[in-house]
Amino acid sequence: MILPLSGGRGWLMHEGRIVFSQLLDHFPKHEFDKCVQRYAGNWRVRGFSCFDQFLSMAFAQLTGRESLRDIETCLRAMATKLYHAGFRGNVSRSTLADANESRDWRIYGDLAQVLIATARRLYAQDNFGLELKATAYALDSTTIDLCLALFPWAKFRKTKGAVKLHTLLDLRGSIPSVIIVTNGKVHDVNILDQLVFEPGAFYIMDRGYLDFARLRAIGQAGAFFVTRAKKNSDCRRLYSRPVDKTTGLRCDQSVVLCGFYSNRDYPEQLRRVRFVDPETGKRFTFLTNNFTLDALTVAELYRRRWRVELFFKWIKQHLRIKAFFGTSRNAVMTQVWIAISVYVLVAIIKKRLRLEQSLYTILQILNLALFEKTPILQVLSQQNYRESEQVASAQLTLFDL
């Protein structure tokens, strides 16, 4: 059977294949093979390849498996369909555990970057609520707590372990463009040293990234930043622009830093915008090196930073990155990167098939229909699929990928 994609562009081959197999039509197998070859992932491997490992872990992400034994039991229950899903090796708990411990996690980190590049091209023209031609990124991190006794490499505090996901989120489509995984002790501001700034782009950050020497480096790269000022920031006003206070704006000023070290690190002028949220009454003071945007747009840009918070809450609730299947650093990194790859792959499918459902709804459907022999477009666009409840967390209704 051949079904046209919605909108009449492109074709989707079905031919009685299971949904899992049809998902892999959007998977860049050739690029994945390059990643495997780059790190010799299949060297001296006989029966359980890196692709089998990825499929097993992707299955766990899509169906919410809780353990390696859970993965093994469920896949063996579908033994007659595994070959058609792409599996070639025998799936067992010990084999998958060994693969997660020994196969280089960078294979899946590089794969995620390939998928991210594809997704960003697909979502490049999406509107994120502001009339802004430039690319806007939100930078933040989230901490995943670990037991220090089981994960001694993930040092955070004296009796607590953790890893951090530092994420640079493209606000068009809420696609992560850069993800850096570190142990919990790495301070957020250090991540600015690892980023390559895109000229003309906006980088939106909270106060945790307020380091004037690093902010100056963003400006020297031809990019712009929007961040919050700390309460003890010492600035001298040079010029004030008129503002409409009915919008919540309180002032729009050109300032210079007065502190010895801060002025040494950032001797140029900065723009200070004060804003009161009309809904909550909370006061904000923003600093930016952009002097051309409307002051209200600066405030609205910072408001969009919360999309990265929603991204973190979403993946923690719907992907398996809080309970890990292995305790080594390699196993944890492998699971995190495969989870990100699955998230981005489903986002790619949503865009290519022009699906109106949220990413949450798509994952719920795939959870039930992964081994059904039904055209994937028919499964994912059925009108009778609805979330049984309007999602317990309010932020999930906002995160409409």
Overall average pLDDT of the 291-315 stretch? 93
For residues 6 and 104, membership in a common domain is answered with: yes
For residues 275 and 332, membership in a common domain is answered with: no
The Cα 378–Cα 145 span in angstroms is 39
Residue 5 pLDDT: 45
Sign of CA dihedral 179, 181, 187, 190: negative
pLDDT, tens digit (0-9, with 9 covering 90-100), for 217-242: 999 999 999 999 998 888 999 999 99
Residue 234: Cβ within 10 Å count: 12
The Cα 267–Cα 258 span in angstroms is 9
- Give the pairing type, strands 202-204 and 136-146: parallel
Domain assignment of residue 7, yes or no: yes
Compute the chain's Rg from CA coordinates. Answer: 23
The Cα 311–Cα 334 span in angstroms is 20
For residues 265 and 339, membership in a common domain is answered with: no
**Centroid of chain to Cα 63:** 19
**Structural domain ending residue among the three candidates 239, 270, 292:** 292
Residue 396 pLDDT: 41
For residues 104 and 7, membership in a common domain is answered with: yes
- Give the pairing type, strands 175-183 and 270-276: unpaired
Domain assignment of residue 201, yes or no: no
Domain assignment of residue 244, yes or no: yes
Query: Which of 45, 55, 177 is closest to 102 using CA atoms?
Result: 45
Domain assignment of residue 347, yes or no: yes
**Centroid of chain to Cα 360:** 14
For residues 270 and 353, membership in a common domain is answered with: no
For residues 7 and 89, membership in a common domain is answered with: yes
Q: Is residue 382's pLDDT more than 70?
A: no
Query: Which of 281, 275, 284, 268 is closest to 235 using CA atoms?
Result: 268
Tokens encoding 160: 């607590």
Residue 15 pLDDT: 59
Q: Is residue 13's pLDDT more than 60?
A: no
Query: Which of 230, 219, 202, 182 is closest to 139 using CA atoms?
Result: 202
Q: Is residue 285's pLDDT more than 90?
A: yes
pLDDT, tens digit (0-9, with 9 covering 90-100), for 71-90: 999 999 999 999 999 999 88
Query: By three-state DSSP, how is residue 303 classified?
Result: helix
Q: Are 163 and 332 in contact (CB under 8 A)?
A: yes
Task: Kindly report which listed range (290-294, 374-378, 383-387) carries the lowest average pLDDT score.
Answer: 383-387
Q: Are 227 and 271 in contact (CB under 8 A)?
A: no
Residue tagged 């607590």 (tokens): 160
Whole domain around residue 16: which residue ranges? 2-108+324-398
In angstroms, the Cα distances linking 397 to 169, 172, 245, 310, 320 are 19, 17, 31, 10, 20
For residues 26 and 78, membership in a common domain is answered with: yes
- For the chain, the domain total comes to 2
